Structure 1
């Protein structure tokens, strides 16, 4: 089992892109995450999106994208500055080792360092994806009660404060 302390994140560069593209989803995860190659290419093409690799040591074990556009994830602006988290995945061979929480913690530390003006991390998660909801809760996310229809699936909005520097009254309202 890998030490969660070895998990870190970094922007996907040309050297990492090929390794990230080989990541594999576990059965049943495709509807929640989508095509890895598409998400990687789309994030690298969009100047308001950052393709990010999750690494254990020097091995690519996961991927996510950060969206900087105010409406990218939630579909509307929130009253507090935030980043959107999308397409988070760990390779199927790395799941079940307790690395998901470490990956989100590394994501938040990196976002706090590189985007100090953003106080929250926002994501939408499929209401039926109970294991993902539980993992996000373990990583410090809270459900806002807001639900959105994305395609034919209901999604719930979850938020995580990026750091103690966020003003206490800056919590984005759920609606």
Structure 2
């Protein structure tokens, strides 16, 4: 009898990159080699730029997206919420920032599965958090599709950046 096929979320894990364990050191080195897909630099910077900033900021926790134990993406959980975008008490929310999946792994449901797996990661970082917020450029259709498929819902709020780009605010419950 053949084994049942694995669903994509069963092969996806999230690993905090703020520890000192050997697997963390290896994952940190691997995420630093991950690059953004063409055109994504307009929306975020890669781990090589964001990991040192997260390391220097005690409010931010970097993480790797793992597919079968191999780092294929990166993100940051920020315990400080951008003013004015929380749907309730800002102390009950965290922000997902700098999130991306390397181009060679895109289109396989990994971003969606990583979003769905955020609950335990966020619970370990900010046990008081009840929701995860993310902003995405309204022109970043791929990110918006992945976030929505991963359980994020539009809040109806928007943020306009310094360069006049409109960012949509999405939220998902931690649990």
Provide TM-score, normalisation by structure 1.
Answer: 0.84
Superposition pairs for residues 1-175 of structure 1, below 5 Å?
Answer: 4=8, 5-12=10-17, 13-69=24-80, 71=81, 74-76=82-84, 78=86, 79-80=88-89, 81-152=92-163, 153-163=165-175
- Worse-matched range after superposition: 79-88 or 102-111: 102-111
- Worse-matched range after superposition: 110-119 or 49-58: 110-119
**C-alpha deviation, 1:145, in angstroms:** 1.2
Contact 2:157 2:169 in 1 (8 A): yes
**C-alpha deviation, 1:33, in angstroms:** 1.5
- 1:113–1:36 CA distance, 2 compared to 1 (3 A): closer
**C-alpha deviation, 1:113, in angstroms:** 4.5
Q: Give the unaligned 5+ runs of structure 2.
A: 1-5, 18-23
Q: Give the unaligned 5+ runs of structure 1.
A: 164-175
Residues 61-106 of structure 1 show CA distances to partners (whole Å, capped at 9, x for unaligned) of 000000012x3xx234733300100111001111111111111112
Using the alignment, how far apart are the partners of 2:161 and 2:134 within structure 1? 12
**C-alpha deviation, 1:114, in angstroms:** 4.2
SS at match of 1:33: coil
Where do 4+ consecutive residues of structure 1 move more than 4 Å? none
**C-alpha deviation, 1:36, in angstroms:** 2.5
Using the alignment, how far apart are the partners of 2:85 and 2:162 within structure 1? 20
- In the comparison of the two structures, how many residue pairs are matched? 160
Provide TM-score, normalisation by structure 2.
Answer: 0.84
